[in-house]
Structure 1
C-alpha cells in the first residue's frame, strides 16, 4: 500500500494557519514550539538531539529517511521533540547500516509525524513571522475544538527543560585508549558525540547533573569542564547560572557549547535574546576573528548571546555568524574559559571546527605545565 494512503494529520499554528497532510509515526495530539532545520542529512541525529525538547521540528529538505535508521547514529536514548514534519518520507530505505524505517523509529519513541504538506510554505511563514506554537494531531481539527486548541497554544511555554532531561546521577565513560585527562561534562541535554569526541582524545568523561555545584565539582577533581548543549530559555536556569559563577572561580579550564555558551555568558554578566527563528542545520557560516577564516558549522539554537552586553575587560567576542552577525563564540580574558554557539562535534554536519576540542585539551596541558 502506498504511504500516500495513510491517515490524515494536521498542524495548526498559534495564528490559526492550518496545514492538512498525512500521518506517519505515532498517533495522537501534541503541542510544541514549531521550528525548522535546514539539515540535508542526519535526521536520526536531529530526532534524538535533546535540544529539540518541547519543539515540533520541520525538515526543509524534501526527502527524509532514505537511508533509514540504526542503533548507532543516535545522540541520546530518546526523542525529546513533540512532533516531526517532513515533505516526504522514504518507506524503502537503502543503506547497509539501516535496521529500521524512520516511521517505525518514530512509533517506537511515541513521536507524532506529519508529511505531505507544503514544508516550503510553512518554513516561509516561520521565517516571516518567527517561530510560534503549534499543535500536531491525527485527530481532525473542527470548529468545535479549534478555539480550545488555540487557547492551549497561547498558554504553552517550554518550561524546566534542562531539569527535566538532565541526568539524576553521575556516570563515567572511560577514554578510548590511554587515559590522558578526566573531563566533567555537564548534562544540560548533551549530545552523545560531544562525549565521544572527548573520549577519542584520551579523556575519561564524567557526566554530571546540570545543578552540580562548585563544591561537588572540586571533590571530583576534573582536569577540565565541558558545558554541554541543551534546550529551552537559558535565563530560566537561575541556579545553574549561580553555580557557574562559583565554578569559574575554581580555575579549571572550561569549554562551553551551545546552551553552555549562553549560560556562561549569563554567569559572567552578559545577556541573551530569543532569535526570530533561530539557527538549525548543518550549513551555518561562522567567522573566526582570530584567523579571519569562515567555517561551516552545525547549529541548533533559538537564543543568542548579546556580544556587546559582555564586559570587554573580561571577555571578547571570538566568532560571529556570517549571515546575521550574532555572537557565535566568546573568549574570556581573566579565566581559562572559551565558549561557542555552534557544535564542533558536528554529527551530522561539517567537521570544520572539531579542532576546538584539541584547543580545550591544550588549555588543560598549559594549566598542568604551570602547576
Structure 2
C-alpha cells in the first residue's frame, strides 16, 4: 500500500502497528527506537540530549513548540533525536527571549516530525508492549517496504553509540585558574553537566569516549567524571578499562547515567535493557542514606542489575527509584567512587539532586587531605 504525505504521515512500529498523523512539513523517512518522555517542558533540551541519539521521541505533553527555541537552551550543538511524534505542534510561539520557532529550528537540521497523533494511545501502547524500533514516514511510502527496512535496523541492546556523539578531540571548559581540575570522559556529555562543574570552580578537560586512563591522567586532574550517553553500556570496553584503572588508583570519580553503568560493568556487575526505560522530569527517587525523597530528571533505557549489585561486597545502593525499585545510585566502600542513574544537572528538570556535584567536590577535597 502506498500513500502521499498530502493525505497523512505515519509512525510504523516494528510489530506492524501503525499510528497516523500529519507531517509538520519536512519530508523524509527516519528510523530509530521509539520512546516517550513525560516532561511538561524543556523540549529543546530533550531534543539535543546526546543520550537520545538514535531514538524517535514521543512527547506525551500535548503542546510542543509553543514557546519556540532559544540558542542557549541546548545540551549539544545539534538535535540528537531521530524524529519527533507529538499531538499538537505549535507553528506559532510566544516568549520574549525565543530565538526562532521550533519549525524553523527543525528545518535548519532537517528533522522529520509528525503531529496530530493520538499520543495517549501511543504511549499506552509502548508501556504495554515495550520500546521497539519504528519508522516515521512523511513522504510517499510503501508500507511493506518500510516493514522490510525496519527488519534491518539493529536493536538498541548491544548497540554502541557513544562513538557517534562523543567529541573527536579533547577540549576545555571553565576557568584555567579554577581551584579544581577535572578529566571528563565524554560518552555523550550534556552541556549543563559541564556548566555545573565549572560553576563549582572546576576547569574541565573533556576527552573522547575511548580515551585511556593515561590520557585522562595527563591533565593531572583532581577528579574524574564519567558522563551520560546513548546506547548499550556493555560494548564500551575501553571506557570500562579506563574506569578500572581510575579505581585501581583510588582517585575521586563521579558517574552519571551511562557513566554509572560503566562503573558497574567495570566491577563485574551486569546491566540489562529495560522494558521501557525512565524518561521524564518527575521521577521519584529515595536517598537511602538520608531517607529523603528527590524528584529527578531521568533518561535511560538500561539499568544496573540490583540483585548482582547487592551481592558485591564493596558496593552499596545509595538511591532507588521509588516506582519500581531499580538502582538509582551507588557508591563503593573502599574507593572514592559514587554514581547515579539520573541527571542531577536537571536540564530540563527539578534541582533536587544538584547537591551531588557538591558531594563530588567534597570527595575531591577529602582526597587532597
Task: Place the TM-score, normalised by the shorter chain, in its bin.
Answer: over 0.9
Q: Is the 8 A contact 2:183 2:217 kept in 1?
A: no
Alignment of 1:145-184 (within 5 A): 145-157=142-154, 158=156, 159-175=159-175, 179-184=178-183
1:7 CA displacement: 6.7
| SS state at 2:143 partner | helix
Q: Which residue of 2 aligns with 1:134?
A: 134
* TM, length-normalised to structure 2: 0.95
2:257 and 2:211 map into 1 onto residues whose CA distance is 19
2:26 and 2:76 map into 1 onto residues whose CA distance is 19
| SS state at 2:91 partner | coil
Moved more, 311-320 or 41-50: 311-320
Q: Which residue of 2 aligns with 1:296?
A: 295
1:89 and 1:201 map into 2 onto residues whose CA distance is 38
Q: Is the 8 A contact 1:6 1:24 kept in 2?
A: no
Q: Which residue of 1 aligns with 2:252?
A: 253
Unaligned runs of 5+ in 2: none
Q: Which residue of 1 aligns with 2:329?
A: 329
2:191 and 2:213 map into 1 onto residues whose CA distance is 24
1:239 CA displacement: 2.3
Moved more, 251-260 or 215-224: 215-224
1:115 and 1:231 map into 2 onto residues whose CA distance is 25
1:205 and 1:27 map into 2 onto residues whose CA distance is 40
* TM, length-normalised to structure 1: 0.94
| SS state at 1:212 partner | coil
For these two proteins, the number of residue pairs brought into alignment is 361
2:56 and 2:312 map into 1 onto residues whose CA distance is 38
Q: Which residue of 1 aligns with 2:355?
A: 355
Q: Which residue of 1 aligns with 2:62?
A: 62
Q: Is the 8 A contact 1:25 1:104 kept in 2?
A: no
Please give the per-residue CA displacement for 1:12-68, whole angstroms capped at 9, x wherever unaligned: 001111112111263210111000000100000001001111000000010011111
| SS state at 2:367 partner | helix
Q: Is the 8 A contact 1:7 1:23 kept in 2?
A: no
Unaligned runs of 5+ in 1: none
Alignment of 1:14-163 (within 5 A): 14-24=14-24, 26-141=26-141, 145-157=142-154, 158=156, 159-163=159-163
Alignment of 1:198-347 (within 5 A): 198-310=197-309, 311-347=311-347
Please give the per-residue CA displacement for 1:134-154, whole angstroms capped at 9, x wherever unaligned: 11011244xxx3223212222
Distance 1:183 1:139, change over 3 A: same
Distance 1:224 1:6, change over 3 A: farther
1:294 CA displacement: 1.1
Distance 1:160 1:269, change over 3 A: closer
1:117 and 1:196 map into 2 onto residues whose CA distance is 36
CA RMSD for the aligned pairs?
A: 1.5
1:70 and 1:296 map into 2 onto residues whose CA distance is 25
